[in-house]
Each structure stands twice: as C-alpha cells, then as structure tokens.
Structure 1
C-alpha cells in the first residue's frame, strides 16, 4: 500500500526567492541536480532548510547536504563559483554526521567578500534525488522571504513500512554490482566523483566488465578518459558513490580530487553558451527522448516489421489473398504496434520526461480516435474548427513527433493545473483537463503546422522530380527519413497512393523504398562491426525489419542513437535515390524495400528493364550504405558517449 509524505522546506537564507530557471548556472537551472529553488540573500545567516542528518560538508565549505528521515537528499550550494574561494567566505557550524533541525543556524556567509571576489552570492537548494522520491515540489513562499520561513513543500513518495532503507538498498545493490564488475575492490586504486559520474582509478582496466556495467539498472553508460574508468550515473551519483565507499572503505576516497572534479565539470557546463551549442544540445535532448521512448518497444516493432514484410511478399506472389481471414488476423498482429504507436509512445515518453504516463497514453488514444482519423482522411472534412478556432485534422496513426511534444508539455501543464485546482478536486479534474489541453495543442497547433510544411515539401519535391528525376531522388532520398521523424512525410503518401490508383505506378515510391534499404544497410554495418552483444542483436533485427519495409527499429533503436550512423545512412540514401531517379525505376504497388521486389515487376511485361533497374539501385544502395557506415559511420567508441545527461563533461575531463 502506497502513501505520501509532505515535507516542508524552509528558506536557508533571508532574501529574494527565485525559481531555479533564473539561476545563472546551467547545472542547476536546467534541473540537472534536481528540483528546488534559489534565494538572493541579504544577510549572512544560513540555516538548515530541513531537519535531518548532515551528509556532506564540502572541503571548500561552499556546500552542505542534509538527508531527511523520509529519504530526501537536500543540497544547499552557497554562491556560484565560490568553490574557487577555497572556503574563505564561510564559517561552517556543522560537520558530517550531525543531526540538525529546520531553522538551525549552520553557516555564516560573508556576502561582501564573495561580491568583492566578483562572484554571485545566490544560495541554491536542490533535492538531488528528486527523480527517485518526489511526486512534486510546490513553491509556497512569496518573493521576499525570511530565513527559517516555510517556502516550499515536497510531496514525497513513500511505501508503507519502508523509508530510507528502500533507497539505500537500491544503491547498495547497484554499488555491489559495480564493484564486482570493475574487478573487485582489489582492482581499485581510488575513487572520486563529479556531478554525474563515478571516476575509478583501476589497477587493470581490462578486468572491468564494461558490457555488464552498462546494462545495470541505474547506470547510463561507461566512458574511459584521462586514465579514469568513468561510470555515468546521473543525479544519483552521490548516493551511489556513498554506497560504494561504504562497501570498499574510506581508504579509497580522495576528497580533494572529488571537489576539484565537481568544480571543473560545473565550470565546463557553464562554458556552454551561444546559439549553436544550445541548438545542438536541444537536438541531442530531442533525439535522446525519441530513442529512450522507443527502446522498450524496439523488439516488437522489429518483429512486427518482419511479419508485415512476409505478408507483403505472400500477397505479392498471390500466395495469400488480402481479403482472407488468415491475412486479416496476421496483418492485425503485425500492424497493431504501428497503428497504436502514439498510445504506446505517450506512455514511454511520459515516463522519460516526467509527465503522467496514463494521461499521455490517453492523449495518444485521442489522436488516433477512429472518427478523427476518418475525418482527417478526406479533404472535405479535414478542415474543421474547435469553438470557432479553425484547424486541420491530421491522421496521427503511426506518428511519433506529436506525442513526444505532448509528453514534453505534459509535466508543465500538470504542474500549472495543480497550482490552480484545489487538492480535493485534483484526482478528477487534473487528468481530464491535462488530456484536453494537450490534445488541443496537437490538433490546433502542431497538426496545421505539420500539414502546411509537409504539403509544401511534397509539392516542391514533385516539381523537382518533373524537372529532374535524378535530382529529386538525391534530395528526397537524403531527406525522407528525417521527414518521417517529424511526421512531415504524410504529404507524400497521398501522392503515392493517387499515382498508383490513377496511373498504376509511382516513381516517388521507388525512391522512398531506397531510403528503407539505406537505413537497413546502416544497421547491418553496425551489426557487422560492433562487438557489443546487445547492440549486435538489436541491429540485426532492425536490419531485417528495414529490408521488410519498416525502418522504425533501425531509426530509433540504433541510427539516431548514434547520430553519425543516421547522417551517413542518409548520404547513402541520397546517392541511391539519385541512381533510382536516373534509372527511372518505377513501383507498381504500395510495397518496397528488399522484400517488396514483386512491386517492381511491370504488370503485363514481367521481369524486364524496370526490375533490373530495381536490382541495381536497391542493392547498390545497400552496398554503399554498409560500406560507408562500416568505414566512417560507426565505431564501438561511440558506445561510451551515448546518452550522457551531462554532455558538457565531454568538453574536458578533470
């Protein structure tokens, strides 16, 4: 039986209350250290914001930590870049292991000395294990607060008969597995940590079982740099570090080196400025969410893709009728995952982004509600309005991008609704209103924008094809899979369907077929090159699925995750598209890739020049994609760089 605990947080200093987003430090303002708030202090007295046990007093006196009885880890950071002042402005009245009460004086902070040194005096509070224990953190204070005044309330998850031991057991178990797989305590010289990583100095790195460590629940990845074996943990790094030290002993610590690593990685994070780094970080975050949301369903996507490919081949050879009961049932099994993709992604993306998974699953269901899909499928009914606001309905069946946008917005909408709706009404009104708001954002905002852009792109690409099939193949081949990611490809599908229905063939579908082969060739190259067993298995399944005409497992399971693979695959796809256009390869059915080869046999003629053009263009694209990715697109070194939540640490290794 689950229950919740409410913990009040008092202001650690008197002054102006700020949200974390206004703190000029990306480590805190982006929530990388957890939820919290900040204060611009106007007095030197710093008090304990909660009651609990002091778990940390930094050597440079600029930060301290307290763990509450309910398991919340509170970090108070005194000033920005004050670590460089080596403790001079601070008089610390507590030590690690002390029991403190909320409002108790713990530090004297010399504001003038900090200001004279050109540093900010901002006092920052963060709940560093927010992801593990918090439902939410509500700011209740006004703009001006007094030290010791209640300014926030934590809604802490708690399980009956289990308090902090639950969290402790989890980190203890992870610590045990990490120690065992780095070669045991006997293989460790020393251990430090920074803001996201455990940094081991090992006697023999070859004894470390990297593949096992990477797959531990709670470990993001492993990196090797500067003579360190770095295990990337994320926000819970201090908890895991403490658990490791508890097991191997304090003799392995180096507090000075740890303080230096934390200071250096914090400083490196703040170097990320300007438009391009922010754009790059935004793209990386978006791709990270896409791939992380897709990973739980990659297996069934790949299996479904293979099944759909087999069915396409059977119907192409007239072995199975598309109207038979056997086909209908098997097609439902293969197609359901793709049809209901927004529902599944709503759930997985919400878990990744901190939104309500059930609400986002419902939003996904709203997007593919049968009546809406039917209306969106006809030009005469697609244009409609909601309370007088005009909108264009779009079919979101099998879509990815819109539900990711909804999941990202979900936590902000939910937080807003909780602020304005009384507690006793939240369980009923917050979920339905959140679902309504997010659905309207997609229908009224995202849908029309995607429609306009996709129609414009489609018209442009068709015009280019009429001018030069080879140029059109180059552009469409290179861009199509990127269009798929953002849902912009839907403008081309009606053109393909109309071509086949009206003319009996489609040149454009031949180029789209090439893009599937190129993505499949890319993951095949990764399969051939990687030594990572898990990645090898995923890559092979994704390659087969792509050759059957379904690229989602290749895109989201591998190629986008290792971005250079996707870029190189798109280059190969552009080359293959140009070749397809040059040869004027035609397609005679809504099928393609390697398993859809019957769709390239000219009706009434049989195997002839068009089919030979198909073989040349598709297998040449396969060869080009495999070779380019194998030589230039992938290396196992990329495994150590993936999904690090603090990319800034790659700037410099302390």
Structure 2
C-alpha cells in the first residue's frame, strides 16, 4: 500500500495533531507513541484510515497497528511532518513511564523482565507437551504409553524431556539475566546470580519438603549462624529481589570505584555481597512469601472453585487491556514450581481462543472489507496465543464481540476450575495449549475449548443480527 503525506497527515490529526505527539518510534508492525493527552485522540477517525488496522493504549504508550513494511514508510513521513525527530524504543519507554502510576510502573517492570524470556518458556512448554504425549499412559493405548509399546522411542522422548526441562531447571538464570538487565546492571552477572541459586552443590528445592520431614537439610555454619544450603529451582521471587540488589550494588560501585580497579573490584564484590544476602536473608524470606502466596491462591480456588473460574476466566481479557496479565506469568511459574501445575494458565489459553472466535464472527457481520480481512487474520493470531490484534483491532472496537468472548471464557473457566484442570507448563496460549495440560484433565479442557470456539460465535452473531433489526 502506497503511503502519501495526506494520509499520514490525517493520521496525525486523528492523534490530536503534531503538538500532541511527545515521542514516536515503531516496531515491526506498529507505531509506538507517547502522547501528551490521549483524550485528544479521535479513535473513530483514526481507525477509519485505510492504513490503520487497529489502535490501543498500553503501559503509557499509544500504539497504532499499521502492518509490516508499511509502518516504516509511515513513520518516516510522520517524523518529516511533525519534526519530532526519530526516537529509539528506549526513549519511548522512558517517556511513557512518566504517564504511569506506581502500580502500572510495577506491572511494567515485571513485563519488561518476563517478556524477553517468554519464547524460551513457551518453547519449553511445547516440548514438555510433546514429551507428555509420548510418555503419558492411556492416550493411544490402554494403560500404556507410546514409549511402553514402542521402546525405540524411549530415548528420543528422554532427550526431548531434557531439552524441555532446561529452561525450567535454570529458570533463575533466565530471570537473573533479564531482571539485572532491566534494573541497569550487568546481564552477565545476572546469569551468574541465577546459576548460583541453582548450583548442584545445594539441596534441590524440589527435594526440600522430603528433606524437611527427614530432618536432614544441609546447612552452613557462618560464625554460629546456621544457613540452609537450599537451591531455588523454579523459584521466581528470590532471584527477582536478588537481581535488584545486585544491580543496585553494582551501579553504586561503578560510580565510586576508579576505572583502573573496576574489573578487580566491582564484579567480585557485587557477587559476594549479593550471594551472602541471597542465602542468608533474601532467599529464605522470599521463599516463604512465595509459598504463602501459592497457598493462598490454591486455598481460594479449592474453596471457591466455580467463583474463581468465572472471575479469572471471564475477566482475564481485561487484564490484557491493562497489561497486568504479565504479572500472572510469575504466579504461574511459582504454582508450577510449588504444586506441579498451574490452574490459572489453562483459563488464559481458553480466553485467547474466545477472543479469536468473537473476532472471526465479525467477518460475517460487517460490510467493511478492511474489518473482514482483519477479523480473519486476527482470529488466527488469537487461536495461536496472540490476542492483541483481535481485541484491539476488532472486538473492543465493536464492544459486543468482546463481551461475548468474556461470557464464554467465564463459563469455560468455571468448567476448568470445578474439574481442577492444571497445566504442567506454560505453552502456546491458544488451540495448541492442550499439550501443556495434565493428561487426566484433557477431557474437561477440550469441553472448555469447544465452548470458547463456538459460544462466542453464537453470541456475537445473535447480538449482531438483533442489533441490525
């Protein structure tokens, strides 16, 4: 699609004029803007422009979906017209943070930490799902697995399991790298910190409960102070807090130590202090906090399963709008580590599918060719776990598809929680999500999947036809 100055000028005007654009950059498909006043945006006019495939506001940024390739041309013309100068993504993020309240900033920090490591976690989840198919009894044979019947596949499945488990076994290293980088420290030290917390010389966190019962937890005797030699495999909070401490100490030392001595002093002292603090205070305290949070969530869903499923399943898509859904990735990982599975992630997967089905329905209800095309492509994206195009480009724009998806997802969430459906890993949050579900829960999960595949279509179509009468 050709880009002319008139069209870009119209886009700028719909955004409130060039005076309303504080900072601008772009990614592969979207313009990422920080506006002085988002209230000045004429969203109907903006979404009516041929170039625009959707728009939404998140984390202090106003994002306009343009499309791959075209967005580069639009951005260049916008920079030329407005004279704002080209900005990096970091410039936009920094400017956007000024528009956030403390809660939004905290959510954004977690998002900045977990989004970079998400591909590794999702890939591991998919591979673990494949391993479950190969090793799970009763899927293809009565009370036997594929590897039981076909022994030649056993080592193949074992290698897949090793590859898949790596991301979860060394999760603190992934989080350490991303968190220290986000907090302004050296990512390499973050990796070392994470690996230090899962060192083979420590008692494996997954064996802690058994060791506690037997009374044989190994300890360090630090001048009369008894410190448990326990690792933090699969844990989230210990490495997050330790990463913040490490980055803070490193930045302080970098300011105080002369350049000639930095290599000899900064990294060793930073790791030494953080390491001692991690094992003496940070680890034990955050490990306890993590267990309290986990026990609290499990208790709520055990005692109020139906209500919890309706609320989380129905309102998860609202969390996506605010960006707060990123915080629950840490909760999912904590649940998997502590209990062997998460009951939250399956509802996420079905919520994504519901949004896709609702968006797909608009293909039959609208006469706008642009919306028809967007509804198809965004639905496919949602079925594969990426809901933003469907939600912001179609469903929220027409409102009733979004509500239909929420209702359907709430009903499916109720079914999942009543049947205690859990995911053993975090995979693709859409149709392929069944691979991450515990084998015994596949039946209930597929019932929920059928609901979110078809009920949003029925509700959206029925209301859309009624609305036109």
Matched, 1:197 2:23: yes
Q: Distance in 1 between matches of 2:376 and 2:183?
A: 28
What displacement does 1:309 show?
Answer: 0.8
TM-score calculated relative to the size of structure 1: 0.42
Please show how residues 116-195 of structure 1 align to structure 2 within 5 Å.
Answer: 183-184=4-5, 187-188=8-9, 192-193=18-19
Any idea what SS the aligned residue of 2:147 has? coil
Pick the aligned partner of 1:361 from 185, 191, 201.
Answer: 191
Name the residue aligned to 2:114. Answer: 294
Name the residue aligned to 1:471. Answer: 304
What displacement does 1:312 show?
Answer: 0.5
Q: Distance in 2 between matches of 1:408 and 1:534?
A: 40
Any idea what SS the aligned residue of 1:377 has? helix
Name the residue aligned to 1:434. Answer: 270
Matched, 1:425 2:261: yes
Looking at secondary structure, tell me which structure has more strand per residue: 1
The higher radius of gyration belongs to 1
What displacement does 1:426 show?
Answer: 1.0
Pick the aligned partner of 2:434 from 594, 600, 609.
Answer: 594
Matched, 1:579 2:408: no
Any idea what SS the aligned residue of 1:197 has? strand
TM-score calculated relative to the size of structure 2: 0.56
Please show how residues 326-365 of structure 1 align to structure 2 within 5 Å.
Answer: 326-365=156-195
Q: Distance in 2 between matches of 1:435 and 1:532?
A: 51
Pick the aligned partner of 1:319 from 133, 146, 151.
Answer: 146
Q: Distance in 1 between matches of 2:80 and 2:299?
A: 68
Alignment check: 8 A CA contact 2:408 2:455 kept? no
The alpha-carbon distance between structure 1 residues 492 and 360, as it changes in their structure 2 partners (threshold 3 A), is closer
Matched, 1:226 2:53: no
Name the residue aligned to 1:450. Answer: 286
The alpha-carbon distance between structure 1 residues 353 and 569, as it changes in their structure 2 partners (threshold 3 A), is farther
Pick the aligned partner of 1:615 from 443, 446, 458.
Answer: 443
Matched, 1:519 2:351: no
Name the residue aligned to 2:249. Answer: 413
Alignment check: 8 A CA contact 1:375 1:393 kept? no
What displacement does 1:186 show?
Answer: 7.3
1:358-379 per-position Cα deviation (integer Å, ceiling 9, x unaligned): 1111111112212225377232
The alpha-carbon distance between structure 1 residues 568 and 294, as it changes in their structure 2 partners (threshold 3 A), is farther
Name the residue aligned to 2:335. Answer: 489
Q: How large is the Cα RMSD of the aligned pairs? A: 5.6
Q: Distance in 2 between matches of 1:446 and 1:478?
A: 33
Q: Distance in 1 between matches of 2:407 and 2:225?
A: 43
Alignment check: 8 A CA contact 1:569 1:629 kept? no
The alpha-carbon distance between structure 1 residues 539 and 227, as it changes in their structure 2 partners (threshold 3 A), is closer
Q: Distance in 2 between matches of 1:569 and 1:432?
A: 54
Matched, 1:304 2:124: yes
Alignment check: 8 A CA contact 1:377 1:395 kept? no
Query: After alignment, is 319-328 or 478-487 more displaced?
Result: 478-487
The alpha-carbon distance between structure 1 residues 476 and 340, as it changes in their structure 2 partners (threshold 3 A), is farther
Pick the aligned partner of 2:104 from 275, 284, 293.
Answer: 284
Bigger relative contact order (CA 8 A; separation at least 6)? 2
Any idea what SS the aligned residue of 1:371 has? coil
Any idea what SS the aligned residue of 1:416 has? helix
Q: Distance in 1 between matches of 2:4 and 2:273?
A: 52
Q: Distance in 2 between matches of 1:597 and 1:347?
A: 28
Q: Distance in 2 between matches of 1:433 and 1:409?
A: 12
What displacement does 1:213 show?
Answer: 4.2
What displacement does 1:619 show?
Answer: 2.0
The alpha-carbon distance between structure 1 residues 442 and 344, as it changes in their structure 2 partners (threshold 3 A), is same
1:65-85 per-position Cα deviation (integer Å, ceiling 9, x unaligned): xxxxxxxxxxxxxxxxxxxxx
Any idea what SS the aligned residue of 2:18 has? strand
Alignment check: 8 A CA contact 2:169 2:234 kept? yes
Q: Distance in 1 between matches of 2:248 and 2:233?
A: 25
Q: Distance in 2 between matches of 1:374 and 1:325?
A: 25
Q: Distance in 2 between matches of 1:626 and 1:183?
A: 41
In structure 1, the gaps of 5 or more residues are 1-179, 199-211, 236-242, 255-265, 273-279, 497-508, 544-553, 559-563, 601-610, 633-654
What displacement does 1:437 show?
Answer: 3.1
Q: Distance in 2 between matches of 1:483 and 1:354?
A: 24
The alpha-carbon distance between structure 1 residues 406 and 476, as it changes in their structure 2 partners (threshold 3 A), is farther
Q: Distance in 2 between matches of 1:483 and 1:187?
A: 38
The alpha-carbon distance between structure 1 residues 247 and 572, as it changes in their structure 2 partners (threshold 3 A), is closer
Any idea what SS the aligned residue of 1:372 has? coil
Looking at secondary structure, tell me which structure has more helix per residue: 2
Q: Distance in 2 between matches of 1:629 and 1:390?
A: 61
Alignment check: 8 A CA contact 1:568 1:625 kept? no
Query: After alignment, is 623-632 or 400-409 more displaced?
Result: 623-632
Q: Distance in 2 between matches of 1:371 and 1:420?
A: 34
Q: Distance in 2 between matches of 1:457 and 1:226?
A: 40
